[in-house]
Structure 1
């Protein structure tokens, strides 16, 4: 792999939103660009830089630029990413990120990049112009979810306050009318879109300004998944949309924890259910208990990673009485983070229950596991519909439309449907998943997207 069509070496500066999913996605793209001899300066918080050091596979071409996140009222000292705070506190972190403008301005003076990649820092495109650089908004999730809430797609003003009823229906211009939100999802997104996120701006306003001011939009996606939505975005925003492809993580250089590996080795191929809801999801006590009881009902071995539910310091203390004894030998529940990619690569894992974060969905698609979806927040609702209704590669857990409640039987039923290779649904999702995985795992597929992406970057500079 390598881009030898132009002697001028590109230098890209990146400043992602301070969430681990965004930071990792930017770093994954930097790793792919480094394989094409492109130098990246990744701006990120000090402690987070240490955490991500092992994921920098090309330190000679990817330079971490650590910065200090300012202390602002509303967030505890030492907070660097959304993983350190509950969801209601995230707007304060966005305000703290906005306060780094002087630092970023100084860094761009020194770094002199050709191109700046950003997302929620709506002020960065104008700053890039000041330094003679082009700017790209890098969308690390699926484009369809962003277009769903876009004011432009609905011919609405930038400061429009969405109602629950409006967001239950897709935009009139949408290529597919299958993508619809349930009542509780629309209520959540209406609130999220109008939530102040620093500087008196709402999240929706921040997105709109970012798209308006940047020179082009880059999307971590491919035409095989979102072709019609990419065409719509170019028409709607009036600027180029560059696809990076799915930017699948490079093969693991680390190894799975010995204890976990030994435990998984005790089960047959494709027999273990793996469940993880991301680094930010916190379930209520009732939903947590229904979830784990649903896993117990399946009767299959399972490994689940949860953050402690609301009101508890550990997941163990929140488990139903006698639960640990009931699942001994076939069930394991972790607090928080686990080696997800390595777990999914283990031959014993046969089903992945995911919250539908874009990074987790890419890992799910690239794995041999069946996919079960239980979206929790923001873009995950639309992601789940894209995967279950349009691409038909997995099964979504049925929830009550009014409040999103699910019981243990809903968890059991969704997993059973996905794992039943003899049913019509089980056969359909297996075939579709296998076909998409085969396309995306082809080395030429990824190289082609990256080659075109780099060509587009060079043309943007011309």
Structure 2
């Protein structure tokens, strides 16, 4: 699906050119549209390659190397860090380095992204220097481009209440006792991993709410649940196969643990709430995000899985949840303290405004 969507966007090039000529903007923001910065330059428009994934992930993955096993370690010049990939994670990324993009000749996905950066006037990210400053400096040196940060871009506190159905269900449990598991709108697990995950939630014997896409080959989550699971968990567990209001659920007093696929949006939402993080990265930048959360910020714990096959067990899920929820464990104490520190920082009054003001100022400098 991804290659076809990118090709469809490529087909809009004449329409985009016509629009830019008519509107005559100062800037155009884009991501994988590698042809856009050259077009913008011909029309006197500045281009900003804006990313919704982290500077660390862009710095780690975007290297045009024929040997994809090199991805097991950070690239040359990368800041000293705990960031690296396991063999199964490299294999999941390999098609992006080897398969040719539909309609782009010999160009693969990674080459498309590198060209998108090479031709732009600046790189933009939703991040902040306090968390990823060293990775931004690496990108500035590597690509010889200014990196401008919009800040964490945390959504405003919700002004609406949680839907009565979810509120009534969560309200029946005591504070800091419920596990919330959500894997975003795109992450789809294989059946065996889907079942290991939900059984891992079950054997904690704690109440849980899991918002999951049906696994590969299934139309509903119900038909993929392990035999007898629904009956065993009917009073204390829900596996929901559709959208849920994640920010509102994360802020509910009963939520204590958040099991996440490590998408950037989900992690930022979790960081401004008080839930403890259990990390099960799914693909691509999720792996780097997980290493950042566990290894650098020390605000969560990643579920152990096989280095070669990437398989995790229900026991590993259970053990990790218990580890982060145990208040007296050394790891539990550490991640609580670090999470509280970063939460306070991200909710600092004026932080978002100061970053956005600086973002605008740096854009203006590009026009000089």
Q: Please, what TM-score do these two structures have when normalized by structure 1?
A: 0.77
Is 1:188 aligned with 2:92? Answer: yes
Query: Is the 8 Å Cα contact of residues 341 and 363 (structure 1) preserved in structure 2?
Result: yes
Question: What's 2:296 paired with?
Answer: 390
Return the offset for 1:163: 2.4
Question: What's 2:13 paired with?
Answer: 101
Return the offset for 1:176: 2.1
Question: What's 1:325 paired with?
Answer: 231
Query: Is the 8 Å Cα contact of residues 161 and 190 (structure 1) preserved in structure 2?
Result: no
Q: Moved runs in structure 1, 4+ residues, more than 6 A?
A: none
What is the SS of the residue equivalent to 2:203?
helix
Deviations 1:90-143 (Å, cap 9, x if unpaired)? 111111111111222222233222111111111111222233221101111111
Query: Is the 8 Å Cα contact of residues 252 and 342 (structure 1) preserved in structure 2?
Result: yes
- Separation of aligned partners in 1, 2:271 and 2:174: 21
Deviations 1:116-173 (Å, cap 9, x if unpaired)? 111111111122223322110111111111111222xxxxxx4x32323x11111231
Return the offset for 1:329: 1.7
Question: What's 1:118 paired with?
Answer: 30
Return the offset for 1:262: 1.0
Question: What's 1:163 paired with?
Answer: 68
Is 1:149 aligned with 2:61? Answer: yes
- Separation of aligned partners in 1, 2:62 and 2:5: 23
Q: Structure 2 unaligned runs (5+)?
A: none
Return the offset for 1:227: 1.2
- Separation of aligned partners in 2, 1:313 and 1:226: 39
- Separation of aligned partners in 1, 2:101 and 2:358: 35
- Separation of aligned partners in 2, 1:278 and 1:232: 29
Question: What's 1:65 paired with?
Answer: none
Q: How does 1:223-238 map to 2 (within 5 A)?
A: 223-238=129-144
Higher relative contact order (CA 8 A, sep 6+): 2
What is the SS of the residue equivalent to 1:347?
coil
Is 1:179 aligned with 2:83? Answer: yes
- Separation of aligned partners in 2, 1:131 and 1:265: 57
Of residues 211, 215, 240, the one that matches 2:117 is 211
Of residues 400, 407, 424, the one that matches 2:306 is 400
Query: Is the 8 Å Cα contact of residues 91 and 196 (structure 1) preserved in structure 2?
Result: no
What is the SS of the residue equivalent to 1:224?
helix
- Separation of aligned partners in 1, 2:229 and 2:23: 55
- Separation of aligned partners in 2, 1:345 and 1:250: 13
Q: Please, what TM-score do these two structures have when normalized by structure 2?
A: 0.96
RMSD of aligned Cα (Å): 1.3
Question: What's 1:285 paired with?
Answer: 191
Query: Is the 8 Å Cα contact of residues 68 and 97 (structure 2) preserved in structure 1?
Result: no
Question: What's 2:240 paired with?
Answer: 334
Q: Are the structure 2 counterparts of residues 459 and 345 from structure 1 closer, same or farther at C-alpha, using a change threshold of 3 Å?
A: same
- Separation of aligned partners in 1, 2:58 and 2:67: 14
- Separation of aligned partners in 1, 2:344 and 2:284: 29
Query: Is the 8 Å Cα contact of residues 190 and 216 (structure 2) preserved in structure 1?
Result: yes
Return the offset for 1:204: 0.8
Return the offset for 1:273: 0.7
Q: How many aligned residue pairs are there?
A: 366
Query: Is the 8 Å Cα contact of residues 221 and 243 (structure 1) preserved in structure 2?
Result: yes
- Separation of aligned partners in 2, 1:127 and 1:320: 53
Query: Is the 8 Å Cα contact of residues 282 and 310 (structure 1) preserved in structure 2?
Result: yes
- Separation of aligned partners in 1, 2:97 and 2:299: 29
Q: Structure 1 unaligned runs (5+)?
A: 1-88, 152-157
Of residues 441, 444, 451, the one that matches 2:357 is 451
- Separation of aligned partners in 2, 1:197 and 1:363: 33
- Separation of aligned partners in 1, 2:249 and 2:282: 22
Return the offset for 1:190: 2.2
What is the SS of the residue equivalent to 1:294?
helix
Question: What's 2:147 paired with?
Answer: 241
